[in-house]
Structure formats: C-alpha cells, structure tokens
Amino acid sequence: MIINNSKKCLCCGGCVSICPKDAIVLKNMKIHIDKDKCIGCKKCVLFCPVDAMEFVEEKQ
Ligand code: SF4
Ligand code: SF4
C-alpha cells in the first residue's frame, strides 16, 4: 500500500493528477489515499519531487 508522509509533502497536487485510478485526493492540505482504488502502480512514488509517497508491503 501507499502511504503519504505529511511532514515531507508540499501539497503540490502533482500525485493527484498523475494517479491513473483517481485514488489520491488532496483535501484540507492533506493527502488521502483510497487503498481500495489504488493498484500499487507506484507512479505517485516516482513522481513526487520530495519523496513523500512511500510504498510499504501490507502486513498479512
Ligand atoms: S506529489 Fe508529493 S509533494 Fe506533491 S502532493 Fe503528492 S505527495 Fe505531496
Ligand atoms: S500507486 Fe498508482 S494507483 Fe496507487 S495511489 Fe499511487 S499512482 Fe495511484
């Protein structure tokens, strides 16, 4: 799953536009990720200029 590091995030909104599944929403200067929509493509991780998106293995 993808997690957002709010300490690093600049709320530029770039990842919101790049996500092919519209899984990322910027609301009240915070990034929310809909993990049911996310397909784990990591485009947001690669795109983010400040490495605020992280991919972590989901615990079983
Ligand atoms: S691209 Fe990075 S800095 Fe910009 S809103 Fe997304 S997580 Fe935050
Ligand atoms: S990994 Fe892909 S589908 Fe998931 S939030 Fe990032 S860009 Fe969207």
Per-domain boundaries in the chain: 2-55
Using CA atoms, how far apart are residues 46 and 54, in angstroms rounded to an integer? 9
CA gyration radius, the chain? 10
Which amino acid residue places its CA nearest to atom 8 of ligand 2? 19
Which amino acid residue places its CA nearest to atom 4 of ligand 2? 38
- pLDDT value, residue 59: 76
Pairing mode of beta strands 30-33, 24-27: antiparallel
Q: Which two tokens stand for residue 38?
A: 């996310």
> For the domain with range 2-55, which CATH number is right: 3.40.50.300, 3.30.70.20, 3.10.105.10, 3.40.220.10?
3.30.70.20
User: Backbone phi, then psi, for 38, in 5-degree steps?
Assistant: -65, 135
- pLDDT value, residue 58: 82
User: At residue 36, what is the residue type?
Assistant: D
- The bound ligand whose nearest atom lies closest to the alpha carbon of 23 is 2
- pLDDT value, residue 24: 98
Q: Which residues of the chain have pLDDT under 50?
A: none
